[in-house]
Amino acid sequence: MRIRRDKRDRLAGAGLEAYPVQVPITTTISAVRTSYPELPIDHQTGALVGIAGRVIFQRNTGKLCFATLRAGDGSEIQAMVSLAGVGEAALDLWKDIVDIGDHIFIHGEVITSKRGELSVLADSWLMAAKALRPLPVVHKPLNEESRVRQRYVDLIVRPQARQVARTRVATVASIRKSLDARGYLEIETPMLQTMHGGATARPFVTTSNAFDLQLFLRIAPELFLKRAVVGGLERVYEINRNFRNEGADSTHSPEFAMLEFYEAYADYRVMATITRELIQAAARAVFDSEQVTHPDGSVHDLSGVWPEVSLYEAVSTALSFEVTPMTPHDKLRSYCDAAGISVEPTAVSGKLVEELFEHYVIESFDGRPTFVMDFPVDTSPLVRDHRTDIGKVEKWDLYINGNEQATGYSELVDPVIQRQRLTEQAALGARGDAEAMQLDEDFLRALEHGMPPTGGVGLGIDRLLMALTGLGIRETILFPLVKPER
RNA sequence: GGGUCGCUAGCUCAAUGGUAGAGCUGCGGACUUUUAAUCCGUAGGUUCGGGGUUCGAGCCCCCGGCGACCCA
């Protein structure tokens, strides 16, 4: 650091800037590469260019210096700085000042070296931005903690880190394209909410000084997107952050990106199909295939129609005992106890069934994306009753690689039943359940104006990236939350 | 919340309880065709923090911090 500080200062002494406002580039590294795809060895083009990039390797041989410059898009080109090309003063300055990590401007002729490497033979060079800190060894991966703490360094040295960032963009772009093609509108709903709802989760709480008002960072956009459907925006979606005041692990982040989309006159089966097609289109957009390969070499087939299992049937099969919404609470609890599942004493029957499902069934999914169909009513206050099965609701969860990837509903639009359900939730909240929903009178008022039959889906963007790339959630998020050092 | 593993030089990693080391990086020097250049020389440490056991602790024990993985 100190030595590089001196170099920065020495530049000023030589009348040069360490951080000029501009350097006179005429083209980009990738443009030069594509313009001269196959030159013969030791060839001179006569073409003069001005390019800039970060020095990632240096090889100095006395009166001829080589440096590999890399641009932000990953394209690289060799710079050659020779005594004959730039003169003694500029060459000495190069050898004295330039370090790996610096951004450098090179002006000169596009040539190939005697080894055939496409190069720019400098007639002049400038510092574009001096790096004061050394880069880590480029050939070894950073440890995982440094990767997330100093993602900027990770991005510089690890091509895959840059690739993941681009994959994320491509995935989200694909989703937008798919939904836009179906006539969906992308809208933005409040992140700061006066009531928290739309999911069962503990919220972050904050305060508006101006309004002297307690506010919640949203745990879900659901109730606002439904208001939009009531208002006649009948196909809407939002891709944005949700916040949940809970722990972080390899599949959970306190802030995470979520897609929610709602379509009037659709039901949960229609939404399941759309969801599958969205994910398959994203896989094609990113990997040009519906088979995705993870870093461990495993191949995951996302193609075709995905299997469905009934929640209650799967639990019944696993227990060799028929479980239905009518199964007594005590019976379910004894099965949970027998399986060693610890459940809150206040847990409702539906919660016990879901716990049994997660304990016995999920691991049998063997990597194939699977829809789990028809959930208990008492854990799903925003979903409409099943059209034939009493005690169930029209809800599915999509699992990919054992992770909950998405959930879809036939939405509950009956304002009377919705009021009952939310009243029950508010009672749970009053009894101390920090995850219970609040009774949102304005949302109920919206439903009372008449909401068309609607299907809705929530899909975790970070989880989707995990499913496509096989990485942990903190690798899919560019700057995940990390606890402060020390 | 529980368990396992990890934290040592700028980076990646070594080191039976007995003088803290290597490679790369850095610094000085040589070299006009190198590709992680090479060669010669050289510097570099609060072993995550605190406490304990011991003649002696990077290593063993306890508490704490941060991270990864597994489980709930």
Helix (H) or strand (E) holding A108: strand A103-112
Q: Are A29 and A19 in contact (CB under 8 A)?
A: no
Q: Is the CB of A347 under 7 A from strand B?
A: no
Separation CA A249–CA A473 (nearest Å): 8
Q: Is the CB of A359 under 7 A from strand B?
A: yes
Instruction: Kindly report the backbone phi and psi dihedral angles of residue A305, in degrees, each rounded to the nearest multiple of 5, phi listed first.
Output: -90, 140
* C1' (B35) to CA (A239) span, angstroms: 44
On the 0-12 / 13-18 / 19+ scale of CB atoms within 10 A, A369 is: buried
Q: Is the CB of A404 under 7 A from strand B?
A: no
Separation CA A325–CA A349 (nearest Å): 8
Write the pLDDT tens digit of every residue in A411-425.
999 999 999 999 988
Q: Is the CB of A64 under 7 A from strand B?
A: yes
Residue A168 DSSP SS3: helix
Q: Is the CB of A113 under 7 A from strand B?
A: yes
Q: Is the CB of A82 under 7 A from strand B?
A: yes
By C-alpha to C1' distance, B25 is nearest to A137
Strand B-proximal residues of A, range 139-158, CB below 7 A, are 139-146, 148
Q: Cα angle vertex A133, ends A128, A134, to 5°?
A: 100
Strand B-proximal residues of A, range 3-22, CB below 7 A, are 3-4
pLDDT score at A286: 94
Instruction: Kindly report the backbone phi and psi dihedral angles of residue A352, in degrees, each rounded to the nearest multiple of 5, phi listed first.
Output: -65, -40
CA distances from A1 to A5, A7, A8, A136, A425 (A): 6, 10, 10, 13, 58
Helix (H) or strand (E) holding A78: strand A76-82
Q: Which residues contact A94 (CB under 8 A, 6 or more apart)?
A: A65, A81, A86, A125
pLDDT score at A138: 77
Q: Is the CB of A116 under 7 A from strand B?
A: yes
Write the pLDDT tens digit of every residue in A49-62.
999 999 999 999 98
Nearest Cα residue to A128 out of A11, A243, A49, A14: A11
Q: Which two tokens stand for residue A320?
A: 């060799």
* DSSP letter, residue A385: B
* C1' (B41) to CA (A95) span, angstroms: 19
pTM: predicted TM-score of the whole model, two decimal places: 0.90
By C-alpha to C1' distance, B24 is nearest to A137
Nearest Cα residue to A462 out of A380, A403, A409: A403
Tell me chain A's radius of gyration from C-alpha atoms. Answer: 29
Strand B-proximal residues of A, range 250-309, CB below 7 A, are 250
pLDDT score at A178: 98
The stretches in chain A having pLDDT less than 70 are 1, 366, 485-486
**CA–C1' nearest nucleotide, residue A57:** B36
Going through A218-316 in order, the beta strands assigned E by DSSP cover: 235-243, 255-264, 291-293, 299-301, 308-310
pLDDT score at A297: 80
Q: Which two tokens stand for residue A90?
A: 């500029």
